Amino acid sequence: MITLRINRLPVSVEDGTTLLEAASFLGFPIPTLCHMDGLSSYGACRLCVVEIGEGPEAKLVSSCTYPAEEGLKVRTASSRVLRARKMILELLLASCPQSKTIQDLAAAHGVRQQRFKQEYEDCILCGLCVRMCQEQMMAKAIGFRNRGEKRSIGTPFDIKSDVCRLCGACMYVCPACQLRCTYNEPEKAICGGCENLTPSCIDKERFDDMMCYMDPCVACEIEKE
Amino acid sequence: MTQDIATRNKGDVHVKQEVDTEVILGILERHDKARGALIAVLEEIQAQYGCLPEEALRTVANEMGRPLVDVYGVATFYRSFSLQPRGKHLISVCLGTACHVRGAPRIAEEFERQLGIKAGETTPDEEFTLETVNCLGACALGPVVVIDGHYFSKIRSSKVGQLIDDALKGLDKIEIGEDKRIFPIDVSCPRCNHSLMDESLTIDDHPSIRVSVSFDHKHGWLRLSSLYGSSSIRAEQDIPIGMVVDFFCPHCHAELIGSWECPMCGAPMVPMIVRGGGMVQICSRRGCNSHMLDLI
- Beta-carbon contacts below 8 Å between A and B: 58
**Residues near B256 by Cβ (< 8 Å), separated by ≥ 6?**
B189, B190, B191, B211, B247, B248, B249, B270, B271, B272
**Residues near A224 by Cβ (< 8 Å), separated by ≥ 6?**
none
8 A C-beta contact, residue A155 and residue A142: yes
Residue B154: count of CB within 10 angstroms of its CB: 12
CATH superfamily of the B89-169 domain: Glutaredoxin (3.40.30.10)
Mean pLDDT of B177-183: 62
CA of A189, closest CA in chain B: separation in Å? 22
For the stretch B45-57, pLDDT in tens is 988 888 899 999 9
> CA–CA distance from A69 to each of A22, A35, A181, B295 (Å)?
11, 20, 40, 67
- pLDDT at res. B25: 87
Which CATH fold would you assign to the domain A128-173? Alpha-Beta Plaits (3.30.70)
| Angle, helices B54-64/B21-30, rounded to nearest 10 degrees | 40
Nearest residue of B to residue A130, measured between CA atoms = B69
Strand partners, B215: B218
For the stretch B232-288, pLDDT in tens is 888 888 888 888 888 998 888 888 888 888 887 888 888 888 887 788 888 888 888
DSSP A133: I
Q: Does the pLDDT at position A208 exceed 60?
A: no
Closest by alpha carbon to B152, among B166, B168, B131, B134? B166
Q: Under an 8 A CB cutoff, do B72 and A153 touch?
A: no
Higher confidence at residue A168 or residue A5?
A: A5
* pLDDT bracket for residue B68 (50, 70, 90): very high
CA angle B165/B167/B169 to nearest 5° reads 75
Residues 63-92, chain B, touching A (beta carbon < 8 A)? 67-73, 76-77
Mean pLDDT of A155-177: 79
Report the distance separating Cα B144 and Cα B79, nearest Å: 18
Strand partners, B227: B184
- pLDDT at res. A49: 95
Strand partners, B271: B281
- pLDDT at res. B175: 53
Closest by alpha carbon to A73, among A20, A13, A7? A7
Amino acid of residue B180: K
For the stretch A20-51, pLDDT in tens is 999 999 999 999 999 999 999 999 999 999 99
Report the distance separating Cα A15 and Cα B286, nearest Å: 56
* pLDDT bracket for residue A174 (50, 70, 90): confident
| Angle, helices A100-108/A79-95, rounded to nearest 10 degrees | 150
8 A C-beta contact, residue B219 and residue B212: yes
- pLDDT at res. A40: 94
Q: Under an 8 A CB cutoff, do A154 and B57 touch?
A: no
- pLDDT at res. B189: 87
Report the distance separating Cα A176 and Cα A95, nearest Å: 10
For the stretch A79-98, pLDDT in tens is 999 999 999 999 998 988 87
Higher confidence at residue B201 or residue B170?
A: B201
Q: Does the pLDDT at position B172 exceed 90?
A: no
Average pLDDT score over chain B: 83
Closest by alpha carbon to A105, among A88, A126, A130? A88
Interface probe with B: pick from A95, A152, A163, A173, most Cβ of B within 10 Å: A152
**CATH class belonging to A2-82:** alpha beta
- pLDDT at res. B4: 36
Pairing of the two strands B128-133 and B89-94: parallel
* Strand locations in B97-205 (E): 128-133, 145-147, 150-152, 183-184, 187-188, 197-203
Peptide bond preceding A199 in cis form (omega within 30 of 0): yes
Q: Does the pLDDT at position B152 exceed 50?
A: yes
For the stretch A121-152, pLDDT in tens is 878 999 998 999 999 989 888 899 998 888 98
Higher confidence at residue A213 or residue B128?
A: B128
Strand partners, B261: B268
Residues 39-58, chain B, touching A (beta carbon < 8 A)? 54, 57
How is chain B split among helix, strand and coil, in percent rounded to 5?
30, 25, 45
Nearest residue of A to residue B52, measured between CA atoms = A157
Q: Under an 8 A CB cutoff, do B4 and A146 touch?
A: no
- pLDDT at res. A77: 93
Report the distance separating Cα B34 and Cα B202, nearest Å: 43
Nearest residue of A to residue B54, measured between CA atoms = A157
Residue A164: count of CB within 10 angstroms of its CB: 16
Higher confidence at residue A52 or residue B191?
A: A52
CA angle A119/A125/A129 to nearest 5° reads 130
Contacts of A152 in chain B (CB under 8 A): 4, 7
Nearest by CB: A158 against B8, B73, B77: B8
CA of A209, closest CA in chain B: separation in Å? 15
Q: Under an 8 A CB cutoff, do B76 and A142 touch?
A: no
Q: Does the pLDDT at position A116 exceed 60?
A: yes
- pLDDT at res. B109: 93
Judge whether A192 is closer than 8 Å to chain B, CB to CB. no
Mean pLDDT of B215-225: 86
The structural domains of chain A, with segments of one domain joined by +, span: 2-82, 128-173, 181-225
Nearest by CB: A156 against B3, B8, B69: B69
Amino acid of residue A106: A
- pLDDT at res. A214: 42
* pLDDT bracket for residue A217 (50, 70, 90): very low
Q: How many residues does chain B have?
A: 296
Amino acid of residue A100: K
Closest by alpha carbon to A60, among A91, A41, A85? A85
Q: Does the pLDDT at position A163 exceed 50?
A: yes
Q: Under an 8 A CB cutoff, do B70 and A158 touch?
A: no
Mean pLDDT of B1-25: 53
For the stretch B73-88, pLDDT in tens is 999 999 888 888 888 8
For the stretch A52-79, pLDDT in tens is 998 899 999 999 999 999 999 999 999 9
> Which element (helix H / strand E) includes B98?
helix B97-101
CA of A139, closest CA in chain B: separation in Å? 9
- pLDDT at res. B178: 55
8 A C-beta contact, residue A105 and residue A47: yes
Amino acid of residue B17: Q
The structural domains of chain B, with segments of one domain joined by +, span: 2-77, 89-169, 183-295
